[in-house]
C-alpha cells in the first residue's frame, strides 16, 4: 500500500523537522516541502490574505490543498517519502487556534493516510529561532507540538519522538525505524 512508504515528520516550529528531511533527501529519500512556510512566502509576496496573522481559516484551507497535492504527487514517486507535515497537521493547527475542525478537513485526514508511524520533533529551545515566516514564540511552539500530538493520536497514528541530537544522528534514528530500502 502507498501509505506504508509515506512517513510524516511533525512537531512545533523550529524543532528541526525541515533540516532532518533535507538530510534524508540528500541520502536519497523522497520528500515533500512544508506547506505553511511556502504559503506564507507566496501570500506575503502577492499581498494575499491566506496568512496565519490575517485570515487563519483561509490559511488552513490553502494548507489543506497543498498537503493533499503533495500526497498525490508523492504517489508517483518510488520508494520511501518523508513528509514535512501532513494533512492532519492542518487539523492540529485549527485545534491550536481554538477553531472547530470542519468536517471536510477531518474527512481529508481520514482519507489521506500515511504510515502509522509518525515522527515528532519535540520542542527544542536550544535550536528554536524566529524568522520572517516563523513569528511564533517558543511557548507557542510547545503548544503547537502538543496540539499536533493530540491530533495525530486522535487519527490513530503511533508517535515516535525524535531525539534532541545532531541531524546526522536523527537521520540514523529515522532510517533504523523505517527499515526501508530506497528503491
Q: Would you state the pLDDT for residue 109?
A: 98
pLDDT score, position 37 = 78
Tell me if 58 sits within 8 A of 49, measured CB to CB: yes
Q: In this model, does residue 93 exceed pLDDT 70?
A: yes
Cell numbers at 64, concatenated = 489543506
Q: Give the residue, 182 or 55, on which the prediction is more confident.
A: 55
- 85 φ/ψ angles, rounded to the nearest 5 degrees: 85, 165
The predicted model scores a pTM of 0.90
The pLDDT of residue 164 is above 70: yes
Check residues 166 and 2 and name the one with the higher pLDDT. Answer: 166
Provide CB contacts within 8 A for 76, sequence distance 6+.
none
pLDDT digits (tens, 9 = 90+) for 15-54: 888 899 999 999 999 999 888 878 988 999 999 999 988 9
Q: Are 141 and 151 in contact (CB under 8 A)?
A: no
Examine the pLDDT at 87 and tell me if it is beyond 80: yes
pLDDT for res 54: 92
Query: Model confidence over 95-128: pLDDT tens digits?
Result: 999 999 999 999 999 999 999 999 999 876 665 5
Query: Taking the CB of residue 8, how many other CB atoms lie within 10 A of it?
Result: 26
The C-alpha cell 515528520 sits at 9
| Distance (Å, whole) CA 36 – CA 60 | 9
For domain 2-178, the CATH superfamily is P-loop containing nucleotide triphosphate hydrolases (3.40.50.300)
pLDDT on residue 183: 40
Amino acid at each position: 500500500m502507498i501509505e506504508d512508504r509515506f512517513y510524516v515528520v511533525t512537531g512545533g516550529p523550529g524543532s528541526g523537522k525541515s533540516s532532518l528531511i533535507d538530510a534524508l533527501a540528500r541520502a536519497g529519500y523522497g520528500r515533500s516541502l512544508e506547506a505553511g512556510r511556502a504559503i506564507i512566502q507566496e501570500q506575503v509576496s502577492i499581498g494575499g490574505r491566506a496568512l496565519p496573522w490575517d485570515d487563519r481559516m483561509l490559511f488552513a484551507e490553502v494548507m489543506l490543498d497543498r498537503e493533499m497535492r503533495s500526497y498525490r504527487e508523492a504517489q508517483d514517486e518510488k520508494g520511501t517519502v518523508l513528509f514535512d507535515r501532513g494533512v492532519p497537521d492542518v487539523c492540529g493547527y485549527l485545534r491550536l487556534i481554538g477553531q472547530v475542525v470542519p468536517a471536510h478537513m477531518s474527512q481529508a485526514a481520514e482519507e489521506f493516510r500515511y504510515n502509522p508511524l509518525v515522527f515528532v520533533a519535540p520542542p527544542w529551545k536550544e535550536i528554536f529561532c524566529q524568522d520572517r515566516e516563523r513569528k511564533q514564540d517558543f511557548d507557542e511552539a510547545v503548544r503547537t507540538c502538543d496540539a499536533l500530538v493530540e491530533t495525530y493520536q486522535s487519527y490513530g497514528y503511533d508517535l515516535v519522538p525524535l531525539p534532541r541530537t545532531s541531524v546526522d544522528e536523527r537521520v540514523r534514528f529515522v532510517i533504523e525505524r523505517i527499515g526501508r530500502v530506497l528503491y
